[in-house]
Every structure is written in C-alpha cells, then in structure tokens.
Amino acid sequence: MKTLSHLQKILLTASVAGALTLTACSSDEKSATEAKKTSAGEKEIVVYSSRKEHLIKPFFEKYTQETGVEVKFITDKEAPLISRLKAEGKRSPADIFMTVDAGNLWLAKKEGVLQPIQSDLLTASIPENLRDPDNQWFGLTVRARTIVYSTERVKNGELVSYEGLADQSWKGRLCLRTSKKVYNQSLVAMLIGRYGEEKAQQIVEGWVANLASDPFSNDTKVMNAIVAGQCDAGIVNTYYFGRLQKENPQLPLALFWPDQGEAGKGVHVNISGAGITKHSDNVVGALKLLEWLASEQAQQMYAGENMEYPANPKVQPTPEVAAWGEFRADDMNLSKAGELQPAAVQLMDKAGYN
C-alpha cells in the first residue's frame, strides 16, 4: 500500500505541475493544441514523448519526408505526460504516447490513457515478450541491463549471473545506480517474477552488502567509478556503455552477459515503446506511424542512431553493438516489469538499497 500511494503522489504532483505549464505553453505545445492541420490529405500526428528530442526527431522528420504527414511532438518526463493525458481527457491532442521502460508503459495502461491496437503488422514485427498482452503498447527498441566489469581486475569465471554479484567474493567490489531509477526497479521486478520475492530479496540484500560506495545517480557514473578503481563491476544499460565506449574506445571495460547457462534465465532486457492514446482522434494515422517505426527501415535507423537493439528480430544491430557479443535474453513478458514494480520498490527499501 505504501508503494502504491507513492506512485499516486507522483502522478498527483505531476498533474498539478502539468496544469501550471498548460498556462505557459511553449511554441511547440501551442502548435500541438491548435486544430490539427492536414498534409497530403491526412491529419498531422501528435506524440507525447519522454524520450529526448534528439533521439526521436530524426525519425519523425524521415516519416514526414516519406509520407508528407507532419508529426508534432512534446517532450517531458513520463509521469507529467501521463497526468497531462488524464487531465486533458477527450480534449487531448495527443495520438501517441512514447516512453522508455516497460514499467512506464504498463503504468500508462493502468492509468487508462492507452487503447488496444489491432495490427497484424505490429504483432508480426514485435516479439510477444516485448509487447503488452492486450496490445496496448509495443516495444520499438531493446536495451539490455547487464553487467559491466573492469578488464584489468576481474578474472575469467568470476562473473556468472545477477545472483552471483551477491556472493561474498564481491564484497566491496560492486557499484550500482540508485534504486529510485525505473531501470533498476524493472530489473528487480523481473527477478521477483523469476525467483519469487524471498529469493529476490536475498539477491538484492547481497548486492547492498557488497557495495563499494553509495549508489550513483546514473549508469555513466557507475562505469567511471569502475575505471577509477573504486569498484570492479556494476549493472548498466548497454547503450550507456556504447556511448562511453564511443568517446574512449580504450576504456578498460567490457560487458558480460549473465545467466546464459542451462539453468540461467537469460539477460534482463527492457524497451522503449509506444501506444495509441485513448482519446486520439487520428487512430489510423497513429497506427501507420507505429507500423512504420516497427518496419525494417526505421528499425535500422534506431539501431544506428541510438546504439540500441532493434525490437524487430529481422533487423541486425549495428557492427559496434554486435561487437559486444550475442546473448540469450530473458523471454518473460515485460508487462511483469510494471505489474511487479510496487513489490520491487518495497523489496529494495527493505533490503536497504537506496
């Protein structure tokens, strides 16, 4: 109950903030709330996105170039956007809600701001575990949350699994990002889904006991701490590793794919994804855009621009990403990341993971 009320408080606070910002819209926001224009005989599409502008703008521009249909977008954090959709109701200009992490997409569904999507193309392009069981959201890119380690201090055979990082041999050698970030909440939620709460708590308590320092605010700081010798291993999203590697290819860091043995459940993966808003007045246009984003052409763009894995299995990752090696991913449906998120937050709190 404590966790659920915390989520409600976040949404309530964001709703108030959203109401205030509505009175002082930026020029982009004003254009989104005005009557929709037509282009090439079709209505423009309005996207509310928690993804940063530079990560999504190239795709929308390419879509407009190919179809003549304008795509307007507003960016903000996921909680304020969900609150805004709820507050706007039928008056909302939004057609698509786009965000990162399946937990956030699950919350959008739970809050009633999405609608079911009927699309043979989407269900054929996006694997079952990367989409909502009721087809209210679909993954568009994949990132693995895996182990990063020092190539100078970690020996072969020391790393095996997420659970293995709780072993006493890692005492004073582990760095983690804060538990307040949804990425870690989803990881622990999936551990609960696989092992049950009791074992998942033992794993998290082991992590906490092995920490070399207080948790860091982001994944990049975790990797910098490893390079500096503050710790030997951590857990990060793959694209953060890719960005750091791009800046300095000589960094003494590498990725390890845990839980690959017969008894292992595979690497924890998550997504960025999207759904059609409940009150969209342009469902046909929104669906066309989502189908295009899941197409091989757009998926290749995603892979090249963002150093993420394509959600469409027909598309190969870029050579830079492929160089990290192949892995078997956990195939549990990612809706569990949201469904079990309240339990995960409670569990991390009990384990002393801040």
pLDDT tens string 95-116: 999 999 999 999 999 999 999 9
Q: Which two tokens stand for residue 84?
A: 């805004």
- pLDDT for residue 144: 98
CA 77 to chain centre: 13
- pLDDT for residue 303: 79
| CATH class of the region 2-141+271-314 | alpha beta
Q: Tell me the average pLDDT of the chain.
A: 90
Pairing mode, strands 309-310 and 138-150 = antiparallel
pLDDT band at 136 (very low <50, low <70, confident <90, very high): very high
pLDDT at 16 over 60: no
pLDDT at 242 over 70: yes
Average pLDDT over residues 216-241: 98
Q: Where in the chain is the domain with CATH 3.40.190.10?
A: 2-141+271-314, 143-268+339-350
231-243 as b/e, with b when 16 or more CB fall inside 10 Å?
Answer: bbbbbbbbbbbbe
- Tell me the pTM: 0.87
CA distances from 125 to 105, 154, 292, 311, 315 (A): 19, 39, 11, 8, 10
SS3 of residue 256 by DSSP: strand
pLDDT digits (tens, 9 = 90+) for 51-84: 999 999 999 999 999 999 999 999 999 999 999 9
- pLDDT for residue 42: 83
pLDDT at 38 over 90: no
- pLDDT for residue 302: 82
pLDDT at 344 over 50: yes
> Could you report how far apart the first and last alpha carbons of the chain are, in Å?
19
Q: Which of 1 and 188 is assigned the larger pLDDT?
A: 188
* Contact call for residues 238 and 255 (beta carbons, < 8 A): yes
CATH number of 143-268+339-350: 3.40.190.10
pLDDT band at 304 (very low <50, low <70, confident <90, very high): confident
Per the rule left: phi > 0, alpha: psi between -120 and 50, beta: everything else, 258 is beta
pLDDT at 1 over 90: no
